Amino acid sequence: MGADFTDNECLLTDRERKNMKRLARQWKPALILLLFGGMLICNPAVAESDFAYRPELCLTGPIVDDVLWTASLEPKITSDAQQANEISLVGGFYWKPMDYLAVIPQFKYVTKGVDDSSNELRPRLAMELTGKAGVCKIAIRNRFEYRMKEDQDEYWRYRGRIKIKLPKVGTITPFLYDEVFYEFGDKDELNGNEIGFGGGLPLGDQLSLCLDIRFCHSRSEGKWGTGDINFLTVLKYSF
């Protein structure tokens, strides 16, 4: 006699069904992230890309209720260098006049290698809008920066970024990231794009860590290159 599949022993209980749905909701962001990352990593151009490691240290603290000061150290180490061949120092403020709006004035100093002629001063101003789309949090940042490189023409650059934070998986908040770069001046063109994924997690009440993989593409002489892979670790301490 065949098995009776109407028997209660062969059916999931309401509690088991709820647990399965809960697990599916919890792991769905991780699956989306893995799929997105797999599509990027499996791109044939990745094999020809250069690699860079960018360990960042960020400090922030309150000034008044809606204003924070920020400071960060941002080295960049490429695969063909044994030491940091680019170091950036960034200082500024983070002002949130409204729940959905942040204004971020900053000043960035960049030094590359041992050649002083490659140093750069970069004042910049950004406005970031935040909101929700279903279970996801979305942040759209528009940044204008004035690039002053030694012995080179100065010019403005626009950077538009969208960051989508997915629901938490345990204590980790996964996210997707895309940023475009538009250079004004002689070039006056869209000449850069960074797309990637990562996750952030708290390490304590005041300390957090963010891991981020970015696929960076640039345009030169009208052609897009194969791009570089950047791996970021951002350690942030909030006073």
Is residue 2 a part of any domain in this protein? no
Is residue 3 a part of any domain in this protein? no
Residue 83 pLDDT: 53
CATH number at residue 110: 2.40.160.40
Is residue 110 a part of any domain in this protein? yes
Is residue 51 a part of any domain in this protein? yes
Examine the pLDDT at 43 and tell me if it is beyond 80.
no
Residue 172 pLDDT: 92
Pick 16 or 70 by higher pLDDT: 70
Token pair, residue 137, equals 């949090």
Is residue 4 a part of any domain in this protein? no
Check: CB of residue 146 under 8 Å from CB of residue 126.
Answer: no
Is residue 9 a part of any domain in this protein? no
Could you give the C-alpha distances from 144 to 105, 209, 232, in angstroms and in order? 10, 27, 22
50-64 and 228-238 beta bridge pairing: parallel
Number of domains in the chain: 1
What is the pLDDT averaged over residues 107-113? 89
What is the pLDDT averaged over residues 134-147? 95
Of 79-83, 104-108, 129-133, the range with the lowest mean pLDDT is 79-83
**Nearest of 87, 93, 52 to residue 73 by alpha carbon:** 87
In sequence order, the β-bridge partners of residue 69 are 61, 93
Is residue 172 a part of any domain in this protein? yes
Is residue 76 a part of any domain in this protein? yes
Of 10-14, 200-204, 208-212, 231-235, the range with the lowest mean pLDDT is 10-14
In sequence order, the β-bridge partners of residue 192 are 181, 218
Residue 26 pLDDT: 54
What residue ranges in 5-85 does DSSP mark as E strands?
Answer: 50-64, 67-78
Could you give the C-alpha distances from 78 to 47, 81, 87, in angstroms and in order? 16, 5, 12
- pLDDT tens digits for range 46-95: 445 688 899 999 999 999 989 999 999 999 988 765 556 789 999 999 99
What is the pLDDT averaged over residues 195-200? 93
Domain that residue 153 falls in: 22-238
φ and ψ at residue 221, rounded to 5 degrees = 55, 40
